[in-house]
């Protein structure tokens, strides 16, 4: 994080703006809107800028900048096209420890002005740290389209009743649960419908009745194969609602970071033959936290119900009568194959696909090999890196052609993705020369050859998700 985002109260605080052109006018509008006491200095000042400053009770100085103008100033913005002057202003502000923003020159800044979505009193700021203002503005436009103007009125309603809620619910967790229910329920819908008075009456009744739901609940969330952009909207919404997040090795750190900052994060490990927390203990943890009245997110790589042991977890939750939700995720087979440019089915090569675990509970490979050797079937092996020699050997022994193509995908959909392609007969030797790192996914079948045929795939860098 290059800059710590802060929201600053500028009401009646003296702020100096150096510059008198269009850029300075945009900055002056922001400062005046925030209630700043504006001091403006420039030789040439646009008439509308001068009028804005005067109407806001500010001061216009037509002439040269001087360091004496920094006396008692809270914030400085340099918005000129004079590089030497901008550097002088920046140096003087740094010497006096006055926050300074130099437009389009982040190296001279101690503060950055973000792109703003104004739903007052709800304010959302987007910044690239000065690296790409255009990208920040693009992100602002996307957010503006998805955040109704009525959110500002909703925030005001919450502010009007905040003290009453605090007095009614002494426990901070009870207050949070109350507000979560309020902001996602019929009271909020009344505000969105323009019926603010009705919403206020409903909120007053809800506070009086202490209408909160502090019961525990568990969310089994499929985090996908690694790329955070593959998370579903529902997965993200429930993750950000959780008080406790249990996650394992297959969940990307960037996805874990999407949870609430105040949520407890519990690492439960689970590498091959090295479980930080055994599965049965994970099941008990889910029950324990839920019975404490907490919302619990169980983040699982891929999809919870495809080799994710989600079934075992919900069995225990159901037995303990704990409410739960299961959020499907993009399974590794789909995500990794797509990012590697390998279609799992194809009219000319494979009319079916089969998902197989590379090791069973006893770590053996006691698989129905005779069912996995059909030439028009794609077979995907999860967790099969250690057992790869046996996989290749058994498939050939049971009738699959030794020249059948096979792909091993390392850390699919992430920046560390690698794809190694060989045949059943040569893959073990190939990996001995070019080792890969877990987690991996193995794809066996004629569809693997399509990766080589789609030459444009690598040229367009689709393996990194650039579709």
Least confident of 34-43, 214-223, 387-396: 214-223
Question: DSSP secondary-structure letter at 302?
Answer: B
Superfamily of 217-330 according to CATH: Tetrapyrrole methylase, N-terminal domain (3.40.1010.10)
DSSP per-residue codes, 114-136: PEEEEETTEEEEE--TTS-HHHH
Residue with tokens 């389209």: 145
Model pLDDT for residues 333-359, shown as the tens digit of each residue: 999 999 999 999 999 999 999 999 987
Per the annotation, the verdict on 107 as an active-site residue is no
Instruction: Please state the pTM of the whole predicted model.
Output: 0.68
pLDDT at site 463: 44
Q: State yes or no: pLDDT of 274 exceeds 70.
A: no
Q: Taking each helix axis from N to C terminus, what angle separates 310-319 and 279-291, rounded to the nearest 10 degrees?
A: 40
CATH class of 333-464: alpha beta
- pLDDT band (50, 70, 90) for residue 464: very low
Check the annotation: does 235 bind a ligand.
no
Per the annotation, the verdict on 270 as an active-site residue is yes
Q: State yes or no: pLDDT of 108 exceeds 60.
A: yes
Asked whether the beta carbons of 398 and 373 are under 8 A apart, the reply is yes
Check the annotation: does 23 bind a ligand.
yes
pLDDT at site 241: 86
Strand arrangement, sheet containing 377-382 = 352-357, 377-382, 440-444, 405-410, 418-423
Check the annotation: does 202 bind a ligand.
no
Token output for 129:
């740290």
Rounded (10°) CA dihedral 17, 21, 26, 29: 60
Percentage of the chain modeled with pLDDT above 90: 73
Cα 155-157-163 angle, rounded to 5 deg: 100
Asked whether the beta carbons of 15 and 73 are under 8 A apart, the reply is yes
Model pLDDT for residues 380-426, shown as the tens digit of each residue: 999 999 999 999 999 999 999 999 999 999 999 999 999 999 999 99
Check the annotation: does 331 bind a ligand.
yes
| Close Cβ partners of 71 (under 8 Å, ≥ 6 residues apart) | none
Check the annotation: does 266 bind a ligand.
no
pLDDT at site 467: 38
Catalytic residue among 27, 227, 243, 248: 248
Is the sign of the CA dihedral 394, 398, 404, 409 positive or negative?
negative
Check the annotation: does 412 bind a ligand.
yes
Residue with tokens 């079934």: 311
Q: State yes or no: pLDDT of 138 exceeds 50.
A: yes
Token output for 243:
């008080």
Catalytic residue among 27, 37, 270, 294: 270
Model pLDDT for residues 160-215, shown as the tens digit of each residue: 999 999 999 888 888 888 888 888 888 988 998 899 999 999 999 989 886 555 57
Q: What are phi and psi of 41, to 5 degrees?
A: -135, 130
Q: What are phi and psi of 308, to 5 degrees?
A: -105, 0
DSSP bridge pairs for 200: none
The candidate with the shortest Cα–Cα distance to 100, out of 117, 87, 82, is: 87
Check the annotation: does 306 bind a ligand.
yes
- The fold for domain 14-113 equals Rossmann fold (3.40.50)
């Amino acid at each position: 994080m290059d800059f710590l985002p802060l929201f600053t109260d500028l009401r009646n605080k003296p702020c100096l703006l150096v510059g008198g052109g269009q850029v300075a006018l945009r900055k002056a509008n922001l400062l005046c809107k925030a209630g700043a006491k504006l001091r403006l200095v420039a030789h040439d000042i646009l008439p509308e800028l001068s009028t804005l400053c005067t109407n806001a009770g500010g001061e216009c100085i037509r002439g040269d900048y001087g360091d004496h103008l920094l006396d008692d100033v809270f914030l400085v913005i340099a918005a000129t096209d004079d590089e030497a002057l901008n550097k002088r202003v920046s140096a003087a502000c740094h010497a006096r420890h006055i926050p300074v923003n130099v437009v389009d020159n982040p190296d001279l800044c101690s503060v950055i002005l973000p792109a703003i979505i104004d739903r007052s009193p709800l304010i959302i700021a987007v910044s690239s740290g000065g690296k790409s203002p255009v990208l920040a503005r693009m992100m602002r436009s996307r957010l503006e389209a998805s955040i109704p103007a009525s959110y500002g009125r909703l925030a005001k309603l919450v502010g009007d009743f905040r003290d009453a809620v605090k007095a009614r619910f002494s426990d901070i967790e009870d207050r949070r649960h109350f507000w979560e229910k309020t902001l996602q329920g019929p009271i909020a819908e009344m505000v969105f419908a323009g019926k603010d008075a009705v919403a206020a009456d409903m909120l007053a009744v809800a506070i009086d009745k202490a209408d909160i739901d502090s019961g525990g609940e568990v969310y089994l969330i499929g985090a996908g194969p690694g790329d955070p952009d593959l998370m579903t909207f529902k997965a993200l919404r429930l993750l950000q609602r959780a008080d406790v997040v249990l996650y394992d090795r297959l969940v990307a750190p960037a996805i874990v970071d999407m949870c609430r900052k105040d949520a407890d994060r519990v690492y439960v490990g689970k590498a091959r033959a090295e479980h930080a927390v055994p599965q049965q203990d994970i099941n008990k943890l889910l029950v324990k936290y839920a019975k404490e009245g907490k919302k619990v997110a169980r983040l699982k790589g891929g999809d919870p119900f495809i080799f994710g042991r989600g079934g075992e977890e919900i069995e225990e939750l159901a037995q303990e009568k704990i409410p739960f939700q299961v959020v499907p995720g993009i399974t590794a087979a789909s995500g990794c194959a797509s990012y590697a440019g390998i279609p799992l089915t194809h009219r000319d090569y494979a009319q079916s696909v089969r998902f197989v675990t590379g090791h069973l509970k006893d770590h053996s490979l006691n698989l129905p090999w005779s069912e996995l050797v059909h030439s028009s079937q794609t077979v995907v092996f999860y967790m099969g890196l250690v057992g790869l020699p046996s996989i290749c050997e058994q498939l050939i022994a049971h009738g699959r052609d030794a020249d059948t193509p096979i792909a091993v995908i390392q850390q699919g959909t992430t920046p560390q993705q690698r794809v190694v392609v060989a045949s059943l007969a040569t893959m073990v030797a190939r990996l001995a020369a070019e080792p890969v790192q877990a987690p991996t996914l193995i794809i066996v079948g004629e569809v693997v050859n399509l990766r080589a045929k789609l030459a444009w795939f690598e040229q367009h860098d689709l393996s990194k998700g650039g579709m």
